[in-house]
Amino acid sequence: MESPANNITMAAEQQVTRSLETGVSINQLITNSNLPLSSPPQTNIGPILLSVNPYTDVGNPLTLNSMRSVGLNDKLLRVVQDAVRQQSETGYPQAIILSGMSGSGKTYASMLLLRQLFDVAGGGPETDAFKHLAAAFTVLRSLGSAKTSFNSESSRIGHFIEVQVTDGALYRTKIHCYFLDQTRVIRPLPNEKNYHIFYQLLAGLSQEERVKLHLESYTPLNLSYLQSGDTRQDDVEDAARFQAWKACLGVLGIPFMDVVRVLAAVLLLGNVQFVDKSSSSGNNGTVTEVGVNGESTLNSVASLLGVPSASLFRGITTRTHNARGQLVKSLCDANMSNMTRDCLAKALYCRTVATIVRRANSLKRLGSTLGTLSSDSNESVHNQADVASQHASTVGTAGSKSSKSMAALNNAVRHATDGSIGILDMFGFEDPKPSQLEHLCINLCAETMQHFYNTHMFKSSIESCRDENIHSDVEVDYVDNVPCIDLISSLRTGLLSMLDVECSLRGTAETYLGKVKAQHRHNPRLFDPKPVDARCFTIQHFAGRVLYDTSDFLETNKDVVPDDLVSVFHKQTCIFGFATHLFGSELKALYSLETVPRGISFRISPTSHSDLLNGDEPVSTLTQDFHTRLDNLLRSLVHARPHFVRCVKANSSETSGKFDRGTVMRQIRSLQVLETVNLMAGGYPHRMRFKAFNARYRLLAPFCKLRRTEDRLTEDCLLILQCVEEEHMKSPLLTQSEVSTSWVIGKRHIFLSEGIRQQLEMLRSDTRHRAAVLIQAVWRGTYARKRWPLLRRNLEMKSGNTGGTSNLSSNHRTSNGGGANACLPSTSKASAPPTLTRPRPQPIAGTPPPDPNEKCDQKIIQQTCTLFGLDLERPPPVPPSRPYTVTGNSKISYPQTRVMKMPYPEDGKGDVTLGKGEAVVVVGASSRRGHLVVEHCNTSIHVPFQFLELKPGPAVSI
């Protein structure tokens, strides 16, 4: 097995580790930019950010709200600014990809990134969009994170947060969730915990709520689904988080009781034990029947789910089979009934999560509130995009015409705003003992992300150099993890495909493993464990070896729930709309034919397929589904410009301030940090098409020397680079650096080292800055000169009044000098600075003609107006005037006492004249725009707002 460190000297490896420990930037290894040294624990490798988790904030719930108290981070801010800038410059979607082991701080960084993205492009944390997203994260964190052996706040839901950006401003957000870890709901590993929400619920419910939810006498110690894991609990913290969770459900418009009823039912289901009972039959034989231990608990579950207890019992303990067209009913044994009970618990939990995600996304799309989550809609939770847009179409007026126009508008908006910035926080590599099918999927995801990085950083740059005959002095020898990905997921012989086949053959863990070992006996990445176990195998992943136990692989992969159980939730028998809603599309498919149940199975997890069934079986398995979703995610990522943040944890014990060099070194190797440093320091990691290079950097060469024709693009590129080199020679600091600043012209691309890219960017930014300053100076000068005659007339009038003119001529002379400030009145001691009256703006004569560059399509405008009942020809009436004015942060109601700032009317020709400094009573806003009504000597005078000044008085705080 080749080691990632083969070609890297230990010295270099230790240098990087030391860099992270001491905060001396790796940037120094690869660039001579004058960036200030980063304080630990972050550093840059060219454009890639390496971030160490120092564990100084363990216990943070990692929600957007809880991260508001965390100080902003310069390096992450730069990643965000880069993404926003590149998105607005190129229109190209951007993806910030966080990777690293479980516990390395991906979620922490992703929350900070999101917060900073809102600061840069979304109007900050006080906007409704932020509050909405923050509420969604608070709700989802409790439902989707749990304590594992590696991380007490481990995300068991992968997130891809897609933020749509138009013209540099955030437009809307969408959370894509990847939920895998279902087994945790029924059986957390011994040192781990179930989902946080269960402990929070038990700690935070009021006594009254506990009674309603049948949870009066329960704690984590006597609930079967929590007992098998770590049962320690911080009641105070959990209760506080529960209150925040409850409040956030309210923000999302999700009925609290609906969700907690399902959660309580899941918890109680674990305490319903089915047991085999023998009973005598008519012919003196004995038949085995299934009975239940804890009948009252079953009754509680049934009541929480709104179904009759007998129906629930029947749904769990009987099974309908289709034997060549004949429907046969059979009784399940206790073991099978207990398995079906667990399937129900998993289905209820993961479908609730999916429903909440869908609701959070559909709300964000609309920025409006919808009705309850209950059974008023029987739409599937699976087809998220479609359902969301269907929800969208039901908002507004009820008529189908407006629904259609809303859908049209949604579509139009969707197409008009295709730029996005995504933040990807997927599962990190982990190695729990024993590892199950979910962990294999999690590690496949980590392998896939590593492969994406390898392809983007190393493979594509090596291949394009080869294609264009470019020789690089640095041979980057990275470890390709494709063989491992193939072992797990190749189409016919991958472990997952073989598992699907075994599921369809109704095989066992042993038969499956036998076939896997025979198929892959020569594969160096698959081992037998020591001691050998007929149900276990070991895989060498990019980040280490993992032992998998296949005992539950087949059952978990099938991921099925029988129709006998699903049919119980049909609205004929179920009075709890939310429960019916969770199985909405399955019930629709089931009841499309008359015979119910008829021996078919549905998936436990909500699937993204519109076809639910392939004959009597679901169309996909858990791993197929996950694979498809991962594939789709990759498809979006390859179309985006990636920004990598590589996360590393400082130790394995979640201890603050402890830097364990061994742990860090292992991660640096697996993340191929040194290979990246090598590439950045001496290779050609960047390439650009000639045309793109010219478009971006031509401002660095003299305009008159550039040819600017398609056929002379290469010459222009060379000219630009010569100019940059000349600049480079002028800076002694830059010339002394050991970092390569080389570039090569290829057949189609220009190849750039990281050093030259940084120089080009720096020069470009300096040049643009200088140009902006020049443009502003020229514009201000022109503007000042244009205003000067008027300014001079005013000054002359004033000084005529005060009898002095001498300053004006000197001012005039100065202004001809061209400075923007030259037009300012002199502050000579001889005369007081004259107050200048601004020229009044010309009244607006009619609506200005439409801007030809207007982006909005006339059709959309028309549709919007029709939808909201507006007439394009007649704008809506002006709203009635307010009974108060707003000053600073206070409302001040009428009547108000104000003081005249200057005489009114100015020419003194009105019936009543108000003198400067006179106190007047303002009784309200005038119907004349910008005027207030002043009562003076029994006369109402409409006085322009700017003539009046507020006198301090009582204010009403807003």
Ligand X SMILES: Nc1ncnc2c1ncn2[C@@H]1O[C@H](COP(=O)(O)OP(=O)(O)OP(=O)(O)O)[C@@H](O)[C@H]1O
Instruction: Tell me: does residue 179 bind ligand X (CB under 6 A).
Output: no
The answer to whether 107 is annotated as binding is yes
For ligand X, give the closer residue by CB, 155 or 585: 155
- What SS3 string covers 792-858? HHHHHHHHHHHCCCHHHHHHHHHHHCCCHHHHCCCCCCCCCCCCCCCCCCCCCCCCCCCCCCCCCCH
The answer to whether 105 is annotated as binding is yes
CB of 153 to ligand X, least distance (A): 4
For ligand X, give the closer residue by CB, 53 or 481: 53
For ligand X, give the closer residue by CB, 144 or 825: 144
Q: Residue 309: CB partners within 8 Å, gap ≥ 6?
A: 298, 299, 302, 303
Instruction: Tell me: does residue 623 bind ligand X (CB under 6 A).
Output: no
CB of 429 to ligand X, least distance (A): 8
For ligand X, give the closer residue by CB, 60 or 826: 60
CB of 150 to ligand X, least distance (A): 6
For ligand X, give the closer residue by CB, 100 or 642: 100
For ligand X, give the closer residue by CB, 62 or 79: 62
CB of 147 to ligand X, least distance (A): 10
Adjacent-strand bridge partners of 934:
922, 941
The answer to whether 417 is annotated as binding is no
Q: Which phi and psi angles does 750 have, rounded to 5°?
A: -105, 130
Q: Which of 499, 515, 382 is nearest to 444 (CA)?
A: 499
Instruction: Tell me: does residue 154 bind ligand X (CB under 6 A).
Output: yes
Count of residues that interact with ligand X, criterion CB under 6 A: 23
Instruction: Tell me: does residue 642 bind ligand X (CB under 6 A).
Output: no
CB of 673 to ligand X, least distance (A): 16
The answer to whether 927 is annotated as binding is no
59 DSSP assignment: T
CB of 484 to ligand X, least distance (A): 19
CB of 148 to ligand X, least distance (A): 6
Considering only residues 15 to 54 of the shown chain, the ones binding ligand X according to CB under 6 A are 53-54
The answer to whether 494 is annotated as binding is no
- 524 burial via Cβ count (<10 Å: 0-12, 13-18, 19+): exposed
CA 425 → CA 84, 175, 773, distances in Å?
18, 11, 40
For ligand X, give the closer residue by CB, 357 or 717: 357
For ligand X, give the closer residue by CB, 111 or 590: 111
For ligand X, give the closer residue by CB, 32 or 443: 443
Q: Residue 473: CB partners within 8 Å, gap ≥ 6?
A: 682, 683, 740
CB of 75 to ligand X, least distance (A): 11
**Structure-token match 């129709």, residue found:** 563
CB of 53 to ligand X, least distance (A): 4
For ligand X, give the closer residue by CB, 100 or 685: 100
Whether residue 679 contacts residue 476, with contact meaning beta carbons closer than 8 Å, is answered with yes
DSSP for 96-126, please give it. Answer: EEEE-STTSSHHHHHHHHHHHHHHHHS--TT
The answer to whether 459 is annotated as binding is no
Whether residue 146 contacts residue 195, with contact meaning beta carbons closer than 8 Å, is answered with yes
Whether residue 958 contacts residue 945, with contact meaning beta carbons closer than 8 Å, is answered with no
The tokens for 330 are 């059979």
- Show the binding pattern over residues 409-448: x = contacts ligand X (CB under 6 A), - = does not: ------------------xx--------------------
The answer to whether 401 is annotated as binding is no
Adjacent-strand bridge partners of 935:
921, 940
For residue 641, the tally of other CB atoms under 10 A from its CB is: 16
Strands of the 94-99 sheet, one edge to the other: 42-45, 48-53, 641-649, 94-99, 420-425, 157-166, 169-179
Whether residue 548 contacts residue 439, with contact meaning beta carbons closer than 8 Å, is answered with yes
The tokens for 829 are 């001691």
CB of 426 to ligand X, least distance (A): 8
The answer to whether 106 is annotated as binding is yes
CB of 599 to ligand X, least distance (A): 40
Q: How far apart are CA 876 and CA 347, in angstroms?
A: 50
Judged by CB under 6 A, the stretch of 152-160, 208-216, 543-551, 758-766 that binds ligand X is 152-160
414 DSSP assignment: H
Q: How far apart are CA 63 and CA 145, in angstroms?
A: 11
Q: Which of 385, 208, 333, 351 is nearest to 266 (CA)?
A: 351
Which residue of the chain is nearest ligand X when measured via CB? 105
Considering only residues 742 to 801 of the shown chain, the ones binding ligand X according to CB under 6 A are none
Judged by CB under 6 A, the stretch of 97-105, 368-376, 603-611, 777-785 that binds ligand X is 97-105
Considering only residues 49 to 78 of the shown chain, the ones binding ligand X according to CB under 6 A are 53-58, 60, 62
Of 33, 66, 151, 297, which one interacts with ligand X (CB under 6 A)? 151
For ligand X, give the closer residue by CB, 55 or 602: 55
Considering only residues 98 to 117 of the shown chain, the ones binding ligand X according to CB under 6 A are 100, 102-108
Q: Which phi and psi angles does 818 have, rounded to 5°?
A: 100, -10
Known binding residues for ATP are: 100-107
Residues contributing to the site for ligand X (CB under 6 A):
53-58, 60, 62, 100, 102-108, 151, 153-155, 427-428, 647
